[in-house]
Structure 1
């Protein structure tokens, strides 16, 4: 599935990204937390495609839709644009207001993203979320959201939607690295190590720039390999010396305004 955009349209196509904290663009006060959507521009040329990251921390497929965020995307998406959808982490949590049933309302809400994009002649793409650093005391890495990943994969198959399996890829990486090797990819900070967390902070669920870049690079690779996007959109896929200033965080006021404005319902 390659974009039907052409230069005569006057603007590059856009990728709208709907997802949760694994994909979100973080505000400066949360650095070094980084979502993979925050750094996807490092591997997709901005002259070829614009990334509109609408992912929201704490969102499930249901709450993202219920709070008007999907409506906002569908109001702005145009023919030839893309809608990348990546949920599952919060859908698998026990809280009733977040949780969805994998082959019930989870699949039902994912279908809204797929159908909404297609009705507007845009391209839906389903992307499973990355695994977290959930190593147990024995160094094993259990699969934390297997059912949601399976439900997304199955929906992609029956709906003929491109599917990027970031979950299995990242699980294999983190498992191979082991508990110590994976630490730089997640927020593990000692006291005094970062101004935002003077007392230290250990978060096995959210990634650092290193983790986010690894996931974003894989997504970009998969998009090209599966011919979801034209190959000339991809840049620096094999570059290992990415400049530190390529990763940046939004100031808190801008982040709050984007969060508020990209909805057609209550925040």
Structure 2
């Protein structure tokens, strides 16, 4: 069946489609197609390492705006790299982060497309007392403010993830993130601990919440969504692009000199 509707994703590594060499690391945007029927094309333009500033500066937003059409959707999800200390990445939550987000919202609307703001999920980081960190709360709050100020739909994945991680506890939450023992996965023979990035179980949970919210808030028609209550996705449900194809898409979805950055 020919695709009729499109949902573009502008975001960072939390929502990106990962390449095969990075499996089992998975962005929630990579799992989002599981929850939409074949009429809906998920165009995932998220880029690992991007902040709301660099995504725009390096021509990735321009590529979306050149290709998005009236009636399409743009999911906008940033925060984890905006919070980093490096000057070239960082934005201040209640300063230029808000300005950058408005650039995405205004750009989508200038093309008669529908912007949707999606806050980032929290990290799997607990202190010595077993308390979950709130490392990105200011960016979720700032995004919520922009949503109100611009009358833009807002999906609060951040506070949903806080609720999940708190209920699951430290050990339960680990199963949603990249915590690999030596020899557990061929891509990471020495093991790998990454409390910031998801594996398929976590990506599916976050994607399900995003899809459910799009329907519940009446942002998209309910008949676009499928399998919102399904719990038995097979291990093969989430797939990774081969590295060469992934790199080619990354280079292609930019305008100007940003392809290699």
Q: Same fold, TM exceeding 0.5?
A: yes
Local SS of the residue matching 1:33: coil
Question: Which of the residues 173, 176, 179 maps onto 1:182?
Answer: 173
CA distance in 1, matches of 2:202, 2:157: 12
CA distance in 2, matches of 1:252, 1:239: 30
Which residue in the other structure is 2:228 paired with?
A: 237
Which residue in the other structure is 2:30 paired with?
A: 38
Which residue in the other structure is 1:248 paired with?
A: 239
Residue 263 (str. 1) matches residue 254 (str. 2): yes
1:94-113 matches, cutoff 5 A: 94-113=85-104
Question: Which of the residues 150, 160, 177 maps onto 2:141?
Answer: 150
1:49-198 matches, cutoff 5 A: 49-198=40-189
CA distance in 1, matches of 2:232, 2:194: 26
Which runs of no fewer than 5 residues in structure 2 stay unpaired?
A: none
User: Please, what TM-score do these two structures have when normalized by structure 1?
Assistant: 0.95
Of 82-91 and 237-246, the range deviating more from structure 2: 237-246
CA distance in 2, matches of 1:185, 1:11: 31
Local SS of the residue matching 1:244: coil
Which residue in the other structure is 1:3 paired with?
A: none
Residue 14 (str. 1) matches residue 6 (str. 2): yes
Local SS of the residue matching 1:218: helix
- Give every structure 1 segment of 4 or more consecutive aligned residues whose post-TM-superposition deviation is greater than 2 Å: none
Q: How far apart are 1:13 and its partner, in Å?
A: 1.4
CA distance in 1, matches of 2:128, 2:192: 19
Of 254-263 and 96-105, the range deviating more from structure 2: 96-105
Which runs of no fewer than 5 residues in structure 1 stay unpaired?
A: 1-6
CA distance in 1, matches of 2:205, 2:249: 26
Local SS of the residue matching 1:253: helix
Over residues 195-246 of structure 1, what are the superposed CA-to-partner deviations in whole Å (9 max), with x where a residue is unaligned? Answer: 0000111110110000000000011111111000000111001111012221
Question: Which of the residues 3, 19, 24 maps onto 1:27?
Answer: 19
Local SS of the residue matching 2:250: helix
Over the aligned positions, Cα root-mean-square deviation in angstroms equals 1.1
Distance change in 2, residues 1:204/1:11 (3 Å): closer
Alignment length (residue pairs): 258
Q: How far apart are 1:11 and its partner, in Å?
A: 4.5
CA distance in 2, matches of 1:265, 1:62: 15
User: Please, what TM-score do these two structures have when normalized by structure 2?
Assistant: 0.97
Local SS of the residue matching 1:245: coil
